[in-house]
């Protein structure tokens, strides 16, 4: 009598899909056309976490790698799931599969994955929440700086408008004086 590997196989397939999406998202933050986290150290940290999860190995077990249960890590960093790997390992030694997988708190692959996700997502000390807070603080600081600069520009614009009005008034006054003096000179020349 053997157990059904369907639920575990479905979970591993879903894990591979989610893992690959995470790898692609992290990769999209690198390079000249990188995303919003380009150059941020969190990209390196997340890449390391994914690397630890994707290359997990157990020493003391006949099922000792993700490849042993049908998850193969490709050169592109993506996991590929092959159900025959899991079926073979499960038929040969289902206890070894259980031991390799472990639990979220009791060792094995699931504990490594859980610890990695906690490092990335923990609300108080996780990489992503900390980075989100830091970026929000930067945005707030930039918005404050923009508001301050806009107020300075508005004040400068008002000062320049007032100075131009004063200059226009002085020019008009000088034109009146010129017209008056010019008229006097013409009258004097006519009188001579």
Q: pLDDT tens across 6-48, in order?
A: 889 999 999 999 999 999 999 999 988 888 888 889 999 999 9
Displacement of CA 22 from its chain's centroid (Å):
12
* Whole-number pLDDT of residue 5: 77
Asked if residue 1 has pLDDT above 60, the reply is no
CA diameter of the chain:
135
> How is residue 89 written in tokens?
């390992």
Report pLDDT for 3: 62
């Amino acid at each position: 009598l053997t157990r059904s590997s369907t639920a575990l196989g479905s979970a591993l397939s879903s894990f591979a899909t989610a893992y690959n999406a995470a790898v692609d998202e992290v990769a999209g933050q690198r390079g000249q056309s990188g995303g919003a986290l380009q150059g941020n150290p969190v990209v390196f940290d997340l890449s390391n976490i994914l690397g630890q999860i994707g290359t997990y190995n157990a020493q003391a077990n006949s099922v000792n790698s993700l490849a042993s249960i049908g998850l193969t890590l490709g050169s592109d960093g993506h996991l590929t799931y092959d159900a025959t790997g899991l079926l073979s390992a499960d038929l040969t030694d289902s206890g070894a599969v259980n031991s390799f997988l472990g639990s979220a708190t009791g060792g094995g692959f699931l504990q490594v994955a859980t610890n990695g996700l906690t490092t990335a997502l923990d609300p108080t000390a996780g990489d992503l929440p900390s980075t989100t807070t830091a970026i929000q603080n930067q945005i707030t600081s930039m918005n404050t700086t923009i508001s301050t600069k806009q107020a300075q520009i508005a004040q400068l614009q008002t000062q320049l408008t007032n100075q131009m009005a004063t200059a226009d008034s002085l020019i008009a006054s000088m034109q009146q004086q010129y017209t008056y003096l010019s008229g006097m000179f013409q009258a004097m020349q006519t009188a001579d």
